[in-house]
Each structure stands twice: as C-alpha cells, then as structure tokens.
Amino acid sequence: MNPVYFDSAATTKVRDEVIDTMTAVMRNEYGNASSTHSFGRSSKALIEQARKNIAKQLNVSAGEIVFTSGGTEADNLALQCAVRDLGVTHVITSKIEHHAVLHTVEQLEQSGSAKVSYVKLDAHGSVDLKDLERLLQIPEKTLVSLMHVNNEIGNILDVERVGQLCKDNGALFHCDAVQSIGHFNMDLQAIPIDFLAVSAHKFHGPKGVGFAYIRKNSGLRPLIFGGEQERGFRAGTEAVHNIVGLEKAFTMAYANLEADRAYISDLKQYFITQLQSKLPNVQFNGLSGNLEKSTYTLVNVRLPIPPEKALILLFQMDLKGIACSKGSACQSGSNKGSHVLTEVLSDRDLESPSLRFSFSIYNTKAEIDYAVSVLHDFITS
C-alpha cells in the first residue's frame, strides 16, 4: 500500500488546478499590486476579482473581505482589535477552541485588557447554549468567540442560534470557521456573525494565506501597520499568487461541494462501520461518530489499547505509512495531550489512546481497509 494520508484536518493536499493557476500567476503576474503601472494594475485586478468571487459566495460585500496570512492572523485581528477599538471588556469563549483563539484571549486577560469567561460544554463537547445565554447577561461590552466546526472532535456549532443570541444581547460574534469554510455553505447576511476567520490550506489551497470577514462599519482598525494595502486595513505587499490560489481552491470547493460531500461522507461512514466490525470496543470522541451532528470530514476514535502499547501507536501508524494525528497539528511539538479531549473525556477515558482521522476527496475505501487492518493487527498482536 502506498502512503496513506488521513490528516486533512491539519492540512489538505493542494489541488492540481490550484497549483497550475498559482504557477501561471508567479510566472506572468509579478507586478506589485500597489504600483500604478500596467504590471501593478494587472496584479491588483486579480486580487480584487478574487475578493469579489469570495464575497459573492458568502453573500457579503467585497469590502468586507480582508486577505491575511491565514486563520491565526484572522483570529488575532478580530479578537485583539475588538478589545482595542470597540470597547470590548468581556470575551466569552470555550476551552476547546483552537489555540489561535485560546492563547490570544489568555494574553488579553493577562494584560488586563479584557475579562474572559468560558462557556460550559455538555458531555459530548458541544456548547451549552443556556450557559452562553447566562453569560451574555453580564452587563459589559461582550465578544463571543466560538468555532463553527471543532478541529479535533468535529462537533458542529449552531452558528445561527449563537449569532441570534449575541444579537439579542448586544454582543459581537467572532467565529473561527477554519474547519468549515470550503466544506459547508454559509450565508453571512442570514447569520449575525461580525467576524470570521478562514484559511486556504483547509480546502485544498496553499498554506500561508486566508482571509478575515469583517462586517462593514465595524469600527476595527488595522492590526498590522506600514502600508495602505487591503484598503488600509492590512499592511504588506500582497502575495498575489497565494490570493489567487485561495480563490481558485475556494471556488472549486463550492462548485463541487455536493459531490465532494457525498463522497467523503460515504468514506467516513465506511470507516466507522469497518472499525466497529473489526474493533468492537472502539469509541468515538465528541460527536464525531454521528454523521448528523459532526462534520463529514473527520472522526476521532478512542481505541481499546493498554497504556504500554498506546505509547507507540502513532509511531506504528507512521511506520506503516499512515498519516493521522492525536490532536491539532499546531500542538504536535508539545508533550501535552489534546486540550480538547482533556475537557471532554473522563480521566479514565483519557488513559486510552485517541486518534483523529480526517478525509478528503483524495482518499479511497482501499486506504480505509488498510488503516483498519493495521489498527486491528496492532491491537490484537
């Protein structure tokens, strides 16, 4: 079996069409988009067309899309600037957010810039909306920051309900949509979201580029200073090839959304069925085993393995050519376990190893059969 990649929640394979588009731009459209000559105007036109295409899909105006280096910058932009510029003194989030959010709000709290409240979670790791409503009663200028799809356990947030709760209580809503944009439709006119973070490499685009959606007339000022790029909102010479690559991946993701969703959903269901057949004691963390309540792109499994064997599980998978993960790629250099599973699982359940398998259009059922057989052989040997 050739190497098998089941870690698309960490990053996806770049589509060939995206690579071709980016290569053509790097070869032919090398003008600085801030220059007024024809080379610069040509680059600028590509950026603005990309902005318009993205905005149209999300049902927003082009001026509300600000290109960034990725989701982490977009999260920081919204959180830090909301506190600095909009008088936010209270941030509500959860303890299973991405560290781009958690570390930012921790810094805001440590600096005395804002108080942070953590909304309760239910037994499956979903946000307790009654507790969120309770926290929204605190009489302070509040920003709620909650992710649409959890990157480790796949739970889907009811963004419509959260957005409405925020609106009804005069709070701002920031949503980290890094794991959902490109995989789910989202109409930002219909959902009361003020700020959104997106990263291209989660939907078969290039790394190092993403965008922030910032609702018009928000009052936010730049996080990065030094130039008038991005309508003065984000200084720095634009990476035209990355922006065009993002837009190509984005438009392809939505043009093929239904077919890709059906294909990947079938893979996930097949993986769940095969695991349950070959490993009857397998458990699914969060709601990742529920196709209706979790994203179709990943599953997080807890395996019946004694602690001494668990230590070499991920190494064994890698040795067999299977790429998966035990948590977010952003914490892979840490000796700590998954902060998400620590919040969701009991101490006893944490003793069993968990792995996240995430899928894309480039995976096959033959690869699933191979991965399940490797797990079976390892566990039963």
Q: Would the pLDDT of 335 be above 80?
A: no
Mean pLDDT across the stretch 103-110? Answer: 98
298 and 335 belong to one structural domain:
yes
Q: How far is CA 302 from the centre of its chain?
A: 22
Domain around 287: 4-12+257-380
278 and 325 belong to one structural domain:
yes
* Nearest partner of 142 among 119, 110, 111, 120, judged by Cα: 119
* Nearest partner of 151 among 332, 371, 362, 372, judged by Cα: 332
Burial class (CB in 10 A: 0-12, 13-18, 19+), 270: middle
C-alpha torsion sign, points 361, 367, 373, 376: negative
Domain stop point among 255, 285, 309: 255
Domain stop point among 255, 290, 311: 255
pLDDT band at 330 (very low <50, low <70, confident <90, very high): low
118 and 242 belong to one structural domain:
yes
Q: Would the pLDDT of 280 be above 70?
A: yes
Provide the greatest CA pair distance for the chain. Answer: 68
What are the two backbone dihedrals, phi and then psi, of residue 109, each rounded to the nearest 5 degrees?
-70, -45
CB-based contacts of 66, cutoff 8 Å, min separation 6: 74, 77, 211, 212, 213, 214, 230, 231, 233, 234
Cα–Cα distance for residue pair 162/183, rounded to 1 Å: 20
CB contact at 8 A, 267 and 251: no
pLDDT, tens digit (0-9, with 9 covering 90-100), for 46-79:
999 999 999 999 999 999 999 999 999 999 999 9
* Nearest partner of 294 among 327, 273, 269, 320, judged by Cα: 269
Please report, as a single letter, which amino acid is at residue 200: A
pTM, rounded to two decimals: 0.95
Q: How many CB atoms are closer than 10 A to CB 363?
A: 22
Q: How many CB atoms are closer than 10 A to CB 375?
A: 26
40 and 149 belong to one structural domain:
yes
250 and 277 belong to one structural domain:
no
Q: How many CB atoms are closer than 10 A to CB 155?
A: 27
The overall average pLDDT reported for the chain is: 95
What is the domain-level CATH number for residue 374?
3.90.1150.10
* Catalytic entry in 81, 175, 324, 330: 330
265 and 244 belong to one structural domain:
no
Assign residue 18 a region (left: φ > 0; alpha: ψ between -120 and 50; beta: otherwise).
alpha
pLDDT, tens digit (0-9, with 9 covering 90-100), for 189-221:
999 999 999 999 999 999 999 999 999 999 999
User: Comparing 66-70, 241-245, 246-250, 347-351, which segment has the lowest mean pLDDT?
Assistant: 347-351
166 belongs to the catalytic site = no
Helix, strand, coil shares of the chain, percent, nearest 5, are 45, 15, 40
Cα–Cα distance for residue pair 359/381, rounded to 1 Å: 27
Mean pLDDT across the stretch 92-99? Answer: 98
- Strand positions, DSSP E, the chain: 4-5, 65-68, 90-93, 115-118, 142-145, 172-176, 195-199, 210-214, 283-284, 298-302, 322-323, 354-358
**Secondary element (H or E) of residue 374:** helix 365-380
37 and 155 belong to one structural domain:
yes
What is the domain-level CATH number for residue 138?
3.40.640.10
358 and 231 belong to one structural domain:
no
8 and 75 belong to one structural domain:
no
36 and 143 belong to one structural domain:
yes
Q: Would the pLDDT of 169 be above 80?
A: yes
- Please tell me the total count of domains within the chain: 2
74 and 84 belong to one structural domain:
yes
347 and 210 belong to one structural domain:
no
3 state SS of 286: coil
CB contact at 8 A, 212 and 232: no
Domain stop point among 220, 255, 290: 255
Q: Would the pLDDT of 269 be above 50?
A: yes
